Amino acid sequence: MAADKNTYSFLSDHTRIPNIGLGTWKSAKGDVKNAVIAAIDAGYRHLDCAFIYQNEEEIGEALKEKIKDGTIERDDIYITTKLWGTHHSPSRVEQGIKMSLTPLQLDYVDLYLMHSPCGRKFIDDKTFFPKDENDKNAYDDVHYVETWKAMEKLVEKGLAISIGVSNFNVSQMEEIVTAAQVPCVMNQIEIHPAIDQSDIITYCKAKSIALTAYSPFGSPDRPWASDKDPNLFEDPVVKEIAESRGCTAGQVLLAYHLNQEVVVVPKSVTPSRIKENFEALSIKLKPEEITKLKELNSTNYRACAMNMLKDHPYFPFK
């Protein structure tokens, strides 16, 4: 088995997480299996998944293949997945994780996150975006603290090693921290140089809650992207740092997170790009370079604004 080239962060429950993972959001069926195989072969030992991505079956097939050929054992790979809003009711949380465990062909995940604080009305296990009679989003007003308490039972049952949240703001995090009997080890949020997340980053670090940056490039390939959005790959500051170091703009953006002790989960289905992203682990930015990158947040640009949930009582980005 090849030497492990990852670096790790220790979580508040005394587990550890690889600092870079393969993101699988927007990875289409037919592509994601090969992307996972390429990532594992390149050295990745962390996969970031979610039930709502609807591609966990292929991820499970890739994991089975790489375990079977001896590249990895189950304990070598760190799997994160997420609870979707239709299963926020405490009575449905266990079913929610099993809907990921089954396609992933796993008995447990290493980290289970509440995908957002916003519950959706449960219709059935195949209705992910329920609507009401007026064709508007149908919500479940179950409070995320109640959902959290049900997630704690998943740890007791061995279905998840660690639990955390995603897309939570400071006040919502405080409610979770106050209620938690099992540590909240992670908040996965959008982080990149064009958005100011200093308040939530400061809070989480003060509470020993780790951070994962999703959309670390500003998610330029998301379906609703606009030509008017910031393009971090073409930003002069990013390009200048990349040129001075002989690396790519993407590697600079990943090093920006890694050098600040933030876990990062870049998505790609291209083997060469997957390998290139992993190599960002070796880039050490100077403090002044990180400062220059932080100054790009004047636009306070949020790629994943979750605007479809603006009328939800627990919408996090008000």
3-state secondary structure 14-56: CCEEECECEECCCCCCCCHHHHHHHHHHHCCCEEECCHHHCCH
Q: What is the per-residue pLDDT across 153-203, written as a single tens digit (0 to 9) for each?
A: 999 999 999 999 999 999 999 999 999 999 999 999 999 999 999 999 999
* Distance of alpha carbon 290 from the chain centroid: 22
Domain boundaries, the chain: 8-309
Q: What is the per-residue pLDDT across 36-77, written as a single tens digit (0 to 9) for each?
A: 999 999 999 999 999 999 999 999 999 999 999 999 999 999
Query: Computed over its alpha carbons, how large is the radius of gyration of the chain?
Result: 19
Domain 8-309 belongs to what architecture?
Answer: Alpha-Beta Barrel (3.20)
Rounded percentage of the chain residues whose pLDDT exceeds 70 = 98
**3-class SS at 68?**
helix
Contacts of 195 (CB under 8 A, 6+ apart): 297, 300, 301, 302, 303
From 53, 78, 301, 314, active-site residue: 53
What was the pLDDT predicted at 1?
58
8 catalytic per annotation = no
**3-class SS at 212?**
strand
Give the closest residue to 257 by CA, choosing from 317, 175, 311, 201.
201
Whether this model's pTM surpasses 0.85: yes
